[in-house]
Amino acid sequence: MSQINNSSTQFQNTSRLRFDEEVRVGIHVVCQHVDMINSRGLWFHDDPLEYTLPLLLLQLSLISIITRSIYIFLKPLGQPSIVSHILGGVILGPSILGHNLAFMNKIFPREGRITLETLSVFGIMLFIFQVGVKIDPSIVWKSGKRALVVGILGFFIPFALASFVRLLLCHSISLDDTVCHVLQLVVLMQSVTAFPVIAIFLAEFKILNSDIGRLASSSSMICDMCFWSFMSIFYVAHVAKEKSMQSAIGSILSVGFLVYLLLFGIRPAALWAIRNTPEGKPVKDAYIYVVFVALMGFGFLGEVIGINSLITSFLLGLVIPDGPPLGAAIVDRLDCFVSALLMPIFFTLCGLKTNVFSVQKWKTVGVILLVVFIGFLGKIIGTMLPPLFCRMPFRDALALGLLMNSKGIVELVLLNDWKTNSDSMTDECFAIMILSVVVLIGVISPLVKALYDPSRRFLAYRRRTIRHHQSNEELRILACVLSQDNVQTIINLLDVSNHTNDNPIGIYVLHLIKLVGRASSLLITHLPREKPSQNPTESERIFNAFKKFEHENCSHAALHCCKSISPYETMHNDVCSVALEHRISFIIIPFYKQSVNGKMVNSFHVFRHLNKNVLDKAPCSVGVLVDRGNFRKSLAELLSCRIVVLFFGGADDREALAYAVRMSGNPHVSVTLLHFTTTSTSEGAEIAGGTERSKRLDSEILDEYKLNAEENERVSYLEEVVMDSEGVLAVIESIENSYDLVMVGKRHGESELMSNLGKCNEHIELGAIGEMLAVTDSKLRASVLVVQQQTRVWGLRDAEDPSLLRREEKDVAGVPISNIYRI
């Protein structure tokens, strides 16, 4: 017995010695009961917080409630979600609630935080893998010189300036060696611009597919490559110095072996899975399962050979092709679980580790913040100079510089790693750095939103309308296609647009595709394959239909195809960019509802936001095409196309009539104008309000049309006298199936009649009359084109008063001649 006691005592002494030794090197040992997972409840006198699962559930509940409450409060101030997560951790941590030791030991005990830490690291691993899947590495090679220069200068200028200031501080001020070492880490953190961070911020700011967004995405990739190349060289040199050259060489060979397995093992397997997945069909669960098993396996392999599992996860994600079908399926499976549950845990833990009471030395605070500010300023200079040299507006260049200074998950991962593995990163320095990250994010976010508005550049400097289009010039039309269902109706509309050798049209087809499984948006010109595929993609089928139309009308119709891959919320930016760049006069965009068995259904409800934004921000005229199914036959099958224009008055009705007049030149088209008038002389009884100038312009275009009707038997003019809104409804219902296409303007001047018609107006993007034609359950079976004349022109205050709009034309002698535009 004594022998056993002696052995036990000896074991305890040995354990105590080992524990003391571990504490001396900074390793914490936690004693925890085994198998205490589920609590039996209070009736069995169990304390639920002593069991792993109830404690975890309480912690997750507190984290979710507090961070969400802070986010709701800060969202109106333009703050991203990461700020609320970190501040939530600070509130729960030793800075506020956790300052009470009883609360901290009960709710966030050390043994309970082990589970949270593990979950958070696993969440980061999945998030980094997800980011890698979304990245298209070829963007680096396609980024262009400007992005290359911005990325390189954005790393080396802040690195050089901050390093210089650090050297001055360490040699001129008596600083501790630990602080000098921390300043070196601060220099590195201020030099990096991480692509995952930029992608998150661009998505939150909804500028992912803007010019600044694309430049920031490409530049951050370049900057990331510079940073990780520098860190790799530093790591190999550190291993060679601390261990041996053989260890350094072994580390390099291990990384090479891992990359070889990824490139020649995982990459071909992923491509094989994509080839064996038919377009439009979901990816097999077996493929997703294999990818997740590979993720765990390569993460373990990386840890075995000395590579952080986060790096191996990112590399694995890079070799999997982004976008549909495989990349999109993986992102879809992970997105909600990772972003809504696991990532907030990590951000909150960063706040939990932050103790503001550990900040004691204001000298340390001053030098760290000085280096942070110098790095911030260097980043601004490095990223602003190239765009300014390329004549980018100063506001946009400043917004880019601020964006490139954004901090997020990558910087927090670095800080946590340095706190764990570096003795220099004390609690004081860690708290200062976390708070500086929060302040930077908090300042940058509202500034970027205030400085940069993508729609500002869509302001045209001249009229881009059909009404003001010169008859001998090419009429450029942008056709936005959401799916194949839109193709034939749009082609028919183009076919009746009277394209001749004297009046050619330029057709720009833009296929709008939702951004799925990608981190960066794309706006690219479609390049046909050298050999036609037996299984063409949806984009290819759409473009092939328009190419057939071009081939049939090759002498007077020129086709240009491109596709936009972007989020629904900002898809209008690509539409407006193409319209502005190619000097489009008219945009055709499908209505978000379409006809199924004669009834309008919400098959495209997600595009309603797109319709509204294009109408608000387009640099030219817009037509919303409501497809009721009757206009999907080819013009040859229809034999003739019957078009009616409903004219109430105003700029939009004049634009619709101008388009119809152009169509009337087609020998297969007949146009009827229904002009609504009233005989009532009482106040407020007019059909549509408007200025005297607007009414005079209405009279002018009506006179021109009447003159055309006398000379062309396919053109007719009818005047409908109505007394109230019921009379208008009666006329519209009488149309029924008499026409194939109904055209009307979106906006009309205020009047009692229009107010009555618009009372039940659900879809403001169609206007009062367009709503009646397209949405109500009427007998009308004709498709509808709701037209809005260009609203955004530089120097134009009133859509009815173009007196400020002038353009300079030169005569033969080169003398400028000012021509006032017509409305």
Instruction: Give the pairing type, strands 594-596 and 599-601.
Output: antiparallel
Degrees to nearest 5, angle at CA 42 with 37 and 46: 45
pLDDT of residue 640 exceeding 80, the answer is no
Q: Hey, where are the domains in the chain?
A: 2-56, 57-451, 475-529+538-802
pLDDT at 377 over 90: yes
**CA–CA separation, 152 and 226 (whole Å):** 7
Of 221-230, 381-390, 797-806, where does mean pLDDT reach its minimum?
A: 797-806
Query: In the chain, pLDDT over 70 holds for what percent of residues?
Result: 86
What is the pLDDT at residue 558? 83
CA 133, CA 198: separation in Å to the nearest integer? 16
Return the SS3 of 326. helix
3-state secondary structure of 642: strand
Checking if the pLDDT of 592 tops 90, the result is no
In this predicted model, what pLDDT tens digit does every residue of 266-295 receive, in sequence order?
Answer: 999 998 888 888 776 778 888 889 999 999
> Is the peptide bond preceding residue 325 cis, with omega within 30 degrees of 0?
yes
Selection from 187, 166, 165, 193 nearest residue 177 by Cα:
166
DSSP codes joined into one string, 63-88: HHHHHHHHHHHHGGGT--HHHHHHHH
Give the burial string for 546-570 (b: 16+ CB within 10 Å, else e): beebbeebeeebbbbbbbbbbbebb
- Chain-centroid distance, C-alpha 561: 22
Q: Which residues contact 111 (CB under 8 A, 6 or more apart)?
A: 30, 31, 32
Residues paired with residue 671 on neighbouring β-strands, in sequence order:
643, 715
Q: What pLDDT is stored for residue 569 in this prediction? A: 81
pLDDT > 60? residue 36: yes
Q: Which pLDDT score, from 0 to 100, does residue 379 have? A: 93
Q: Which two tokens stand for residue 304?
A: 């075995």
Confidence of residue 576 (pLDDT cuts 50, 70, 90): confident
534: amino acid identity, one letter: Q
Tell me which of 178-182, 301-305, 459-463 is least confident.
459-463
Average pLDDT, the chain: 80
Q: What is the CA radius of gyration of the chain?
A: 33
**Which pLDDT score, from 0 to 100, does residue 589 have?**
92
Helix spans in 353-456 (H) = 362-389, 394-404, 409-421, 427-451
**Distance between CA 167 and CA 157 in Å, rounded?**
15
- Provide mean pLDDT across the span 759-771: 72
Residue 680 pLDDT > 80, yes or no? no
Going by the DSSP 8-state scheme, the letter that residue 716 receives in this structure is E
pLDDT recorded at residue 515:
80
User: What is the residue type of 36?
Assistant: M
One-character DSSP codes across 589-614: EE-S-EEETTEEE-TTGGGHHHHHHH
**For 451-467, b where at least 16 C-beta lie within 10 A, e where not — what string?**
bbebbebbebeebbbbb
Mean pLDDT value of segment 451-474: 77
Checking if the pLDDT of 374 tops 80, the result is yes
Reported as a single tens digit per residue, the pLDDT across 489-537 is 888 888 888 888 788 888 999 998 888 777 777 788 887 777 777 777 8
For domain 475-529+538-802, the question of CATH label 3.90.1170.50 is answered with no
Split at pLDDT 50, 70, 90, the class of 35 is low
Distance (Å, whole) CA 740 – CA 629: 10
* Among 780, 742, 788, 740, residue whose Cα is nearest residue 764: 788
Average pLDDT rounded to a whole number, residues 430-451: 89
Distance CA 703, CA 417 (A): 78
Task: Assign 461 a pLDDT band (cuts: 50, 70, 90).
Answer: low
User: Is residue 18 pLDDT above 50, yes or no?
Assistant: no
Instruction: Please give the Cα distance from 182 to 430 (Å, whole number).
Output: 9
Once rounded to an integer, what is the mean pLDDT over residues 688-696?
A: 79
> What does the pLDDT read at residue 383?
92
Q: What is the pLDDT of residue 587?
A: 92
Please state, in angstroms and rounded to a whole number, the distance separating the CA atoms of residues 296 and 786: 54
Give the mean model confidence (pLDDT) for residues 42-56: 80
Most confident of 19-28, 201-210, 792-801: 201-210
Q: Tell me, what DSSP letter sits at residue 379?
A: H
Q: For residue 705, give the nearest of 772, 752, 656 by alpha carbon.
A: 656
Q: How far apart are CA 584 and CA 432, in angstroms?
A: 53
Q: Which two tokens stand for residue 3?
A: 């022998």
User: Is the alpha carbon torsion for 610, 613, 617, 619 positive or negative?
Assistant: positive
**Per-residue DSSP letter, 298:** H
Q: Looking at per-residue confidence, does 544 or 16 come out higher?
A: 544
135 vs 413: CA distance, rounded Å: 20
Q: How far apart are CA 378 and CA 191, in angstroms?
A: 9
User: pLDDT digit string (tens) for 304-356?
Assistant: 887 888 889 989 988 988 878 888 888 888 888 888 888 888 888 888 888 88
Q: Tens of pLDDT along 72-107? A: 988 888 888 888 888 888 888 888 888 888 888 888
Mean pLDDT of all residues in 774-795:
74
Question: In the 8-state DSSP scheme, what is residue 201?
Answer: H
Phi, psi of 32 (to 5 degrees): -140, 140
Distance, in Å, from the CA atom of 789 to the CA atom of 794, rounded to the nearest integer, reads 15
Distance, CA of 694 to CA of 783 (rounded, Å): 28
Which band of pLDDT confidence, cut at 50, 70 and 90, is reported for residue 159? very high
When mean pLDDT is compared across 181-190, 196-205, 478-487, 588-597, the lowest value belongs to 588-597
**Cα-based distances in Å from 231 to 246, 385, 414:** 19, 26, 12
Say which DSSP state 719 is in. Answer: E
With 70 as the cut, is the pLDDT of residue 759 above it? no
pLDDT score of 316 = 92
Question: Is 62:107 a contact under the CB 8 Å cutoff?
Answer: yes
Bridge partners, residue 509, by sequence? 479, 561
- Amino acid in position 611: N
| C-alpha to C-alpha distance for 22 and 126, rounded to whole angstroms | 31
Cα–chain center distance at 415? 28
- Range ranked top by mean pLDDT from 367-381, 589-603, 701-715, 728-742: 367-381
Band of pLDDT at residue 630, cut at 50, 70 and 90:
low
Would you tell me how many other CB atoms lie within 10 Å of the CB of residue 111? 14
Stretch among 242-251, 556-565, 794-803 having the lowest mean pLDDT = 794-803
Counts for the chain of helices (H) and strands (E), in that order? 30, 15
CATH topology of domain 57-451: Na+/H+ antiporter like fold (1.20.1530)
Residue 181 pLDDT: 87
C-alpha torsion 767→770→776→781, nearest 10 = -170
Average pLDDT in the 404-415 region? 88
SS3 per residue for 796-820: CCECCECCCCEEEEECCCCCEEEEE
Q: Is the pLDDT of residue 229 over 50?
A: yes
